[in-house]
Amino acid sequence: MTATTDGSPGSPTQRTPSASSASAPDPVPSGGPEAAAQRAVQRAADHLLARQHSDGWWKGDLETNVTMDAEDLMLRQFLGIGDAAVTAASARWIRSQQREDGAWPTFHGGPGDLSATVEAYVALRLAGDAPDEAHMQLAAKWSRGEGGVASARVFTRIWLALFGWWSWDDLPELPPEVIYLPKWMPLNIYSFGCWARQTIVPLTVVGAHRPVRPAPFGIDELHIDPANPNPRQRKAPLVSWDGVFQRLDQVLHVYRRLSPRMVRRSAMNACARWIIERQEADGCWGGIQPPAVYSVIALHLLGYDLDHPVVKAGLESLDRFAVWPGDGMRMIEACQSPVWDTCLATIALADAGVPADHPALVKAADWMLGEQITRPGDWSVQRPQLAPGGWAFEFHNDNYPDIDDTAEVVLALRRVAHPDPARVDSAIDKAVRWNVGMQSRNGAWGAFDADNTSPYPNRLPFCDFGEVIDPPSADVTAHVVEMMAALGLEKDPHTRRGIDWLLAEQEDNGAWFGRWGVNYIYGTGSAVPALTAAGLPATHPAIRRAVEWLGSVQNADGGWGEDLRSYSDQEWVGRGHSTASQTAWALLALLSAGERNHDAVARGVRWLTETQLEDGSWDEPYFTGTGFPRDFSINYHLYRMVFPLTALGRYVRDEPFGTTHMPALASGTGKGA
């Protein structure tokens, strides 16, 4: 692929020489890079402090794609609770995200996505857009060119089946009886990642009922052949895994017709109990939108009316996912990230030089301490003897604390001079023991569960979208290792196993894969600071290879960027428009590797200082967060603030690992958890 110098979305951007051979940067503003960076730090810190909620937390918008908005409108249509003002505002947002070719992407600047386009089109039809309008004709034509509805993902076709636009017979089968499978059996619900099992359990109920509430129009224009809209899938050879699972699906379709009614009814009731037991205090499920939507539908199909307290609370929770970005538009967040945003903001402000006893930091610490989860959740299925002590990502999600959030909250709390240090010590001790206890057998950490690595769930025809398991990843493991090192536990056996795993996972090019952030820049920006904090010298071969790689992918403008297409196309690895968050990740790695005085760092710092807006923030339309690699992307609106401030703060203060206020814990803490 030919590189261009303008960083256009259609091709990777031009590279500069590696960090070991980069030419000297152009002249910097008066006072040198340190003075410019200091001014930028002050403006950014002031901006971030002003955004703190009075309760102590921070939360930026969590932007994904229009399927969230489309499914919200389809839910309201299905339940008969549509609201004209809500529909109009959502439709404005959906239209605003359409590409010139008629398609809808799943991330800013990305290619069109068939499922997103089909769902957006249907939602606009529900909002009153006529099929002969220009933007609708473009969308339909583009969809047909991509194979039409028949080529859309399973979840999209489930939504269409609810309105009679697709046959339930032509969807994969997953019976509610799966709720009865013991945890030692393949494909039991706990072999799925927590986000997947929360979605699958209610969907088994929906699939068992196969409801159809006919829509007021057809969608023949989205089919290649309207007379044969549901072409049968060609079977893969039986000797292949795809072939095996396709035949399993055929067996499940037969079982549907033969299943004893009492068994089926009992299974659906068991699913209902499972769902209700996991409803959070705010009425949501897991703090994320898709399980909440499907849980409401499932319970409604089981006879729970819309005024039932469980269903009513669920619907009210969905309203809290709405964001109003202006111009009369309404956007739906897939999730909300206050714990994650708050710990990252606390780290950023502390590393920027805000005093450890600043009221904003103390208030943030108080709020985080109040959010610690002290009761078992689904994770205890695999770790029944482990005491709780983690933090979740969202406001209310006691069932699914997050190993990554827990590590970062600990790093944040250690930067605050709290008036009750014993309370902080106790919280950190619980958190460390829980995180250590969630270590997988291979020495690494996943996000929500231990050893959630079954090879089977991803092979189900039902699961053709996104990751449905939660294997260990380099970024989460790195954050836990960094937490352990900050506590003086770098020699703990658990930490050493994590380090060994990270070193073995380094790519041949010197980078690390980023599971929860885009992509190799995020993975490398997480791994290098963790490894060096844990005692690896800057001269270690793994660190030198990472530094060399980061230098080789620095953009001509001095920043760093990586497109989400790097998850599926090697041409995009480390390549993309420069962004504030990704530039900061690269700088954090280089600073921790002892490269503060290197030309690559100076150029990166200059890019951040020159692209900062007058109000102290940065503009970042590009998506740098990852929900599911290749399938679901996230633009965390606070990333553009917290990571640049952290990197510039460490640069200005010459503290490559940030500020640690509290003394290290005893070296034995966490052992035997």
> pLDDT by residue (tens digit) across 465-524?
778 999 999 999 999 999 999 999 999 999 999 999 999 999 999 999 999 999 999 999
For residue 515, the 8-state DSSP code is: S
Q: What is the DSSP string of 192-217?
A: S-HHHHHHHHHHHHHHHH------SS
- Whether 63-219+231-332 and 32-60+337-453+472-653 are alike in CATH topology: the answer is yes
* pLDDT at residue 273 tops 80: yes
What's the pLDDT score for residue 24? 33
Task: Quote the percentage of the chain above a pLDDT of 90.
Answer: 83
- Whole-number Å distance between alpha carbons of 283 and 427: 26
**Cα(615)–Cα(82) distance, rounded to whole angstroms?**
39
pLDDT score of 455 more than 50: yes
Look up residue 576 and give its two tokens: 């993309």
The two structure tokens encoding residue 103: 């398609």
Which ranges in 393-488 belong to alpha helices (H)?
A: 403-413, 421-437, 474-486
The Cβ of residue 62 has, within 10 Å, a number of other Cβ atoms equal to 27
pLDDT computed for residue 14 by the predictor? 36
Residue 459: predicted pLDDT: 84
pLDDT at 52 over 60: yes
pLDDT exceeds cutoff 80 at 669: no
Residue 671 pLDDT greater than 50, yes or no: no
Tens digits of per-residue pLDDT, 568-612? Answer: 999 999 999 999 999 999 999 999 999 999 999 999 999 999 999
| Helix 599-611, helix 32-50: angle, nearest 10 | 40
Percent of the chain beyond pLDDT 70?
93
Residue 13: what pLDDT? 37
- The pLDDT of residue 171 is 93
pLDDT tens column, 638-655? 999 999 999 999 999 999
What pLDDT sits at residue 469? 94
Active site residues: 404
- Sign of the dihedral defined by the CA atoms of residues 407, 412, 417, 420, in that order: negative
Query: Which whole number is the average pLDDT over 192-204?
Result: 94
Confidence of residue 662 (pLDDT cuts 50, 70, 90): low
Q: What is the pLDDT of residue 661?
A: 54
Q: What's the rounded Cα separation, in Å, for the pair 365 and 609?
A: 29
pTM above 0.95, yes or no: no
Distance separating alpha carbons of residues 150 and 148, to the nearest angstrom:
5
243 or 557, which is more confident: 557
The mean pLDDT of 549-573, rounded to a whole number, is 97
Kindly tell me if the per-residue pLDDT of 31 is higher than 70: no
* Low-confidence winner among 206-215, 281-290, 538-547, 647-656 (lowest mean pLDDT): 281-290
How far apart CA 576 and CA 556 sit, in angstroms, is 11
- What pLDDT band is residue 341 in, cutting at 50, 70 and 90? very high
Distance between CA atoms of 472 and 92, rounded to whole angstroms? 40
CATH number of 63-219+231-332: 1.50.10.20
Residue ranges covered by each domain of the chain: 32-60+337-453+472-653, 63-219+231-332
Nearest of 70, 633, 627, 634 to residue 332 by alpha carbon = 70
SS (H, E, C) 227-244: CCCCCCCCCCCCCCHHHH
DSSP letter at 88 equals H
Q: What is the pLDDT of residue 383?
A: 96
**212 or 32, which is more confident?**
212
To the nearest whole number, what is the mean pLDDT of the chain?
91
Burial class (CB in 10 A: 0-12, 13-18, 19+), 266: middle
Residue 378 clears pLDDT 80, i.e. is over it: yes
Length in residues, the chain? 673
The whole-number pLDDT of residue 251 equals: 87
Do residues 447 and 404 lie in contact, with contact meaning Cβ atoms separated by under 8 Å? Answer: yes
Which pLDDT score, from 0 to 100, does residue 243 have? 77
pLDDT at 90 over 80: yes
Q: How far is CA 399 from CA 35, 214, 232, 276, 290, in A?
A: 47, 36, 40, 12, 16
**Is the model more confident about 216 or about 494?**
494
- In CATH, what number does 32-60+337-453+472-653 get? 1.50.10.20
- What was the pLDDT predicted at 573? 97
Query: What's the mean pLDDT in 441-449?
Result: 97
Q: What is the mean pLDDT of residues 47-59?
A: 98
pLDDT tier at 615 (50, 70, 90 boundaries)? very high
